[in-house]
Every structure is written in structure tokens, then in C-alpha cells.
């Protein structure tokens, strides 16, 4: 029955609204409408599953390597670091040359960086500083890393002489990235012109003195060609049975008869025989410049000198083993490319991987095959690129092979790492100036060196 106050149309509308209200009320709070199938598919297409969410790329660890640096050294290391980037894509290995060259400025820069706590993760130490930095405790001992990473170290392939030279009090404080014994470089043309046999494994001090006398030429009072350069004092002393410091490190031994005899021979070449350039002559022209311009018959140097000598175009040259003393013994100085990890590095494992790569067979091959250093790896000196290397004016493959042969003969030693070696070397070099200019006798120089170094010890 329809109420008088409502029309049929109004009644139907009211009932309809009431039904909707009852339905909503019976469901409690309003719920979201069910999505259609099309909506569900669209949502799936735009939704990213939790396990597929892209992760932020892992940041590379950066480790730096510092050497003195030069145009040639920088070029030689480039392929080494290019290959490292391929081998270790998660490590950013940075070649950071000091830009100082092999000068005292490199040592000063390194010491400043160490003092400021901003040293490179891996760096090269120069002669005279290995013992000093070892005493300062800046090196990370590497024995545990060698054991942990045998596959990248290949420790047994190093020359034993190099390895021993990297130890301080029995602990391995560096890996050798290169290093050669010193030998004799000589001008083949000058020797042939005088009818002198080439220096060989049997040559002694006396034999060199004789040859140098014949090779020395004068024009009036001016010497225009010298026979031989200065012998290096350390190997001369060692070859004659002398030592610098006692094994316990408490006493200087430079006043021994063996040392005095060695110093006397060195001085006689300059002061008595005048076949080796004195201080004044060297202030005018260095030994290297005298040799490369054909004004010096022979001089002492490492295999790395080949980087300069192979540019010679006016004469043939060659290398010969270090001289024996008149007592028949040969001991030559082994220079080592000490490559160490800074103890303060924040990334020791990555730093060690960089150091090990630089010193690896492949790392050394990439750099040294360019012709400027001596490998610390036994296997490399047997490879064709090294064994049979010759340049335009190289007389024979001795320019390479006499150096590893002295190593294999056990005739090469590294300078022992003394805590005060920098001060010790300054004393020795200062006193040697008196030896070369003749202002002191060899015996006096030996006594004065010993007295000063004893005070340091």
C-alpha cells in the first residue's frame, strides 16, 4: 500500500536507497573494491619482485703504488697497471709516481707522507732507506700474505739473493720487483784499438789497472780519455774479505787491513795512476756522460744502465762481470727494487695483491721486456726476450747475461738493512771524498770512518 504522502516513484527511490544502506551497514567498515583481472595483470607488469630489486654497485677499493717516476718509468709501468685492472676488476690500482726521479727528493717526499699518515699503500724504497724505514715500523710484514696467496706470489721463482735482501731480522718486509748486481760496462772499440782483451771472469784489480793505464790518453796536461771509472767501495771491500759492521751490529769493521787494502787500490786509480777521473774532472762531466761520449774505457754499473747505453751510436759496448780482488774473490753489490706495503694501509689484502702483481712473472715481463731493468725471477732470465736481447751497438748478449750469472754463482749480496744506514752512508761518502782528492790516506779514511760510525752504533 502506498502512503498518501508518497508517489510511487518516490517510494521506489526510498526503498532502493534503504537497501543499499542496509547492505553497507551489514558489512561494517567500507572495503576496497575487488580489482578486475585486467587491473591485476597491469599491476603485475609494473611491480618489481623483492629478489629482483637492483643493488647499488659495489664501490671499488683503491690502492696506490708510488715509485720515483720518470717519462720512461711511467711508460714502462702503464701495461702493468692495464693488465692489473683486467685481472682484478674489483680493485682500483693506481700508479702514482712521485715525480722526483731517483733523487733524495723521493726519500724526502716519502718520509713526509709517512709522517702525515697519507703514505701510498704500496711503495718502492731506495738504497740506503730500507733499514731506516724498517726500524721505524712502517712496513707490513708479508710472510703471512705469501702463505695466504701462494698462487699469486710464486715465491720459489725469486732469486734467493733477492729474497734474503728483502728480510729484516728474519721477517719479509718487501717483495723484489727487480734488481741487478753491479758489473763492468766497457767500450769495445777502445779496447780493440789498444789490442786489450775484453774483461772476463778472470779479471782482477791488477788486470784492470793495467788496462786502464793503456786506455788513458792525454793531450798536454789534460786527460781527454780515462781508462776506468771509480770502483764502488762496498763491493771492493767485500771482494777483499772486508765487512762494514759486525754481525751483532755493534762495531764498525772498516779499519781492518782488508778494507785499507781495498781503499788503497781505489785511491791509487785516481791519485797515483791517474787513470780514473778525480773530483774536478767529475764536476765537469759525469762518468756516464764520459762513457757514452767515448771518453771513458770502462765503468761500474747495473743492468738498468742499458736504458741509457743502448742509445749509443758511435761505438760498440758490452758488459763483463765484476772484478775479482787480487785475492781471487768476487762479491758484487745487489741492488733490489724493494716493493713494500705500508703498515697503515686500510686495505692490506688488496695492497698485497697489487704488490704481488707488480713483482710477478707477468708483471715484470710487461715492464722489463722494454729493456731497462733486471728481473728478480729466475724463470724470466731464461726467456728469449731477455737471454738473447741485443741493441744496435751491443757487442753480445753479455749485456744481459753476466748479471744473472753472478747471481746464480752466489757472488751477489744486498746491502744489509741497518737502522741508521742513512747516517752510516753519509759518513762513508763524506770520508770517500777525502780518498778521491788525496787529502787523506786510505788508512786515515778507514780509521775516521770507523770512529764516526762506532759513535752512531
Query: Is residue 58 predicted with pLDDT exceeding 90?
Result: no
How sure is the predictor about 21, in pLDDT bands with cuts at 50, 70 and 90? very low
Cβ–Cβ under 8 Å, residues 251 and 245: yes
Contacts of residue 316, defined as CB under 8 A and 6 or more positions apart, other chains included, come to 187, 188, 189, 393, 394, 395
Residues forming a β-bridge with 341: 122
What value does the mean pLDDT take over residues 219-240? 95
Measured between alpha carbons, how far is 265 from 171 in angstroms, rounded to an integer?
A: 37
The pLDDT value given to residue 303: 87
What value does the mean pLDDT take over residues 158-181? 95
Residue 49: alpha-carbon gap to chain centroid:
51
List, as one string, the DSSP characters of 342-372: BTT-S-HHHHHHHHHHHTSHHHHHHHHTTSS
The pLDDT value given to residue 371: 67
Which of 23-37, 174-188, 196-210 has the lowest average pLDDT? 23-37
The pLDDT value given to residue 39: 41
The DSSP output letter for 248 is T
List, as one string, the DSSP characters of 132-191: HHHHHT-BPP-HHHHHH-HHHH-GGGB-HHHHHTTEETTEE--EES---B-EEEEEHHHH
Query: Is residue 77 predicted with pLDDT exceeding 80?
Result: yes
Query: Is residue 455 predicted with pLDDT exceeding 60?
Result: yes
Of 66, 22, 41, nearest to 340 by C-alpha is: 66
Residue 123: alpha-carbon gap to chain centroid:
7
The pLDDT value given to residue 12: 34
Measured between alpha carbons, how far is 110 from 6 in angstroms, rounded to an integer?
A: 104
Query: Is residue 243 predicted with pLDDT exceeding 70?
Result: yes
CA angle 401, 394, 368 (to 5 degrees): 55
Of 436, 407, 435, nearest to 183 by C-alpha is: 407
How sure is the predictor about 306, in pLDDT bands with cuts at 50, 70 and 90? confident
How sure is the predictor about 35, in pLDDT bands with cuts at 50, 70 and 90? very low
Q: Mean pLDDT in the chain?
A: 88
**247-285 pLDDT tens trace:** 888 999 999 999 999 999 999 999 999 999 999 999 999
Measured between alpha carbons, how far is 178 from 375 in angstroms, rounded to an integer?
A: 5
The pLDDT value given to residue 54: 53
The pLDDT value given to residue 27: 37
Task: Report how far apart, in Å, the C-alpha atoms of 170 and of each of 106, 347, 388 are.
Answer: 27, 24, 36
Residues forming a β-bridge with 64: 94
Of 111, 44, 38, 127, nearest to 428 by C-alpha is: 127
Q: Which domains does the chain have, with CATH numbers?
A: 61-179+335-408 (3.40.190.10), 183-334+420-456 (3.40.190.10)
Cβ–Cβ under 8 Å, residues 445 and 435: yes
Measured between alpha carbons, how far is 73 from 97 in angstroms, rounded to an integer?
A: 9
Query: Is residue 49 predicted with pLDDT exceeding 90?
Result: no
Q: What is the dihedral of CA 338, 339, 345, 350, to 10 degrees?
A: -160
Cβ–Cβ under 8 Å, residues 229 and 298: yes
For 50-103, where are the alpha helices, taking DSSP H only? 71-87
How sure is the predictor about 56, in pLDDT bands with cuts at 50, 70 and 90? low
Q: Is the dihedral of CA 68, 74, 78, 80 positive or negative?
A: negative
**136-146 pLDDT tens trace:** 999 999 999 99
CA angle 428, 127, 340 (to 5 degrees): 150
Percentage with pLDDT > 70 across the chain? 87
Q: Where is pLDDT greater, at 134 or 13?
A: 134
What value does the mean pLDDT take over residues 84-91? 96
How sure is the predictor about 6, in pLDDT bands with cuts at 50, 70 and 90? very low
How sure is the predictor about 310, in pLDDT bands with cuts at 50, 70 and 90? confident
**391-448 pLDDT tens trace:** 899 999 999 999 999 999 999 999 989 899 989 999 999 999 999 999 999 999 999 9
Measured between alpha carbons, how far is 192 from 215 in angstroms, rounded to an integer?
A: 10
Amino acid at each position: 500500500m502506498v502512503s498518501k504522502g508518497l508517489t510511487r516513484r518516490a517510494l521506489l527511490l526510498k526503498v532502493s536507497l534503504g537497501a543499499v544502506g542496509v547492505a553497507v551497514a551489514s558489512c561494517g567498515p567500507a572495503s576496497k573494491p575487488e580489482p578486475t583481472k585486467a587491473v591485476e595483470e597491469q599491476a603485475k607488469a609494473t611491480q618489481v619482485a623483492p629478489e629482483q630489486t637492483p643493488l647499488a654497485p659495489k664501490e671499488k677499493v683503491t690502492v696506490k703504488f708510488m715509485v720515483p717516476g720518470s717519462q720512461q718509468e711511467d711508460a714502462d709501468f702503464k701495461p702493468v697497471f692495464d693488465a692489473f685492472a683486467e685481472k682484478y676488476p674489483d680493485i682500483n690500482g693506481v700508479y702514482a709516481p712521485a715525480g722526483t726521479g731517483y733523487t733524495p727528493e723521493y726519500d724526502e717526499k716519502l718520509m713526509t707522507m709517512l709522517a702525515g699518515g697519507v703514505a701510498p699503500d704500496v711503495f718502492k724504497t731506495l738504497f740506503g732507506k730500507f733499514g731506516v724505514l724498517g726500524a721505524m715500523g712502517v712496513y707490513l710484514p708479508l710472510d703471512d700474505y705469501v702463505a695466504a696467496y701462494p698462487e699469486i706470489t710464486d715465491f720459489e721463482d725469486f732469486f734467493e739473493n733477492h729474497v734474503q735482501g728483502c728480510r729484516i731480522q728474519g721477517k719479509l718486509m718487501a717483495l723484489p720487483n727487480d734488481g741487478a748486481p753491479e758489473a763492468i760496462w766497457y767500450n769495445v772499440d777502445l779496447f780493440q784499438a789498444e789490442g786489450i782483451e775484453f774483461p772476463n771472469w778472470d779479471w782482477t784489480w791488477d788486470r784492470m789497472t793495467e788496462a786502464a793505464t793503456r786506455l788513458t790518453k792525454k793531450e798536454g796536461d789534460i786527460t781527454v780519455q780515462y781508462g776506468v771509472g771509480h770502483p764502488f767501495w762496498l763491493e771492493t771491500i767485500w771482494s777483499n774479505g772486508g765487512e762494514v759492521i759486525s754481525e751483532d751490529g755493534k762495531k764498525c769493521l772498516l779499519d781492518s787491513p782488508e778494507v785499507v787494502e781495498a781503499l788503497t787500490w781505489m785511491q791509487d786509480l785516481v791519485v797515483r795512476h791517474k787513470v780514473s777521473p778525480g773530483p774536478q774532472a767529475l764536476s765537469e762531466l759525469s762518468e756516464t756522460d764520459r762513457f757514452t761520449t767515448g771518453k771513458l774505457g770502462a765503468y761500474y754499473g747495473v743492468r738498468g744502465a742499458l736504458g741509457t747505453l743502448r742509445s749509443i751510436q758511435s761505438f760498440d759496448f758490452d758488459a763483463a762481470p765484476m772484478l775479482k780482488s787480487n785475492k781471487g774473490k768476487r762479491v758484487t753489490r745487489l741492488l733490489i727494487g724493494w716493493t713494500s706495503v705500508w703498515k697503515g694501509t686500510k686495505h692490506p689484502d688488496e695492497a698485497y695483491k697489487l704488490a704481488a702483481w707488480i713483482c710477478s712473472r707477468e708483471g715484470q715481463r710487461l715492464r722489463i721486456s722494454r729493456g731497462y731493468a733486471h728481473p728478480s725471477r729466475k724463470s724470466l732470465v731464461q726467456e728469449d726476450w731477455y737471454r738473447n736481447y741485443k741493441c744496435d751497438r751491443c757487442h753480445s748478449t753479455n749485456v744481459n747475461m753476466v748479471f744473472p750469472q753472478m747471481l746464480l754463482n752466489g757472488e751477489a749480496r744486498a746491502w744489509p738493512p741497518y737502522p741508521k744506514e742513512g747516517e752510516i752512508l753519509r759518513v762513508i761518502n763524506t770520508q770517500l771524498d777525502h780518498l778521491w782528492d788525496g787529502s787523506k790516506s786510505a788508512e786515515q779514511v778507514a780509521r775516521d770512518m770507523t770512529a764516526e760510525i762506532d759513535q752512531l752504533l
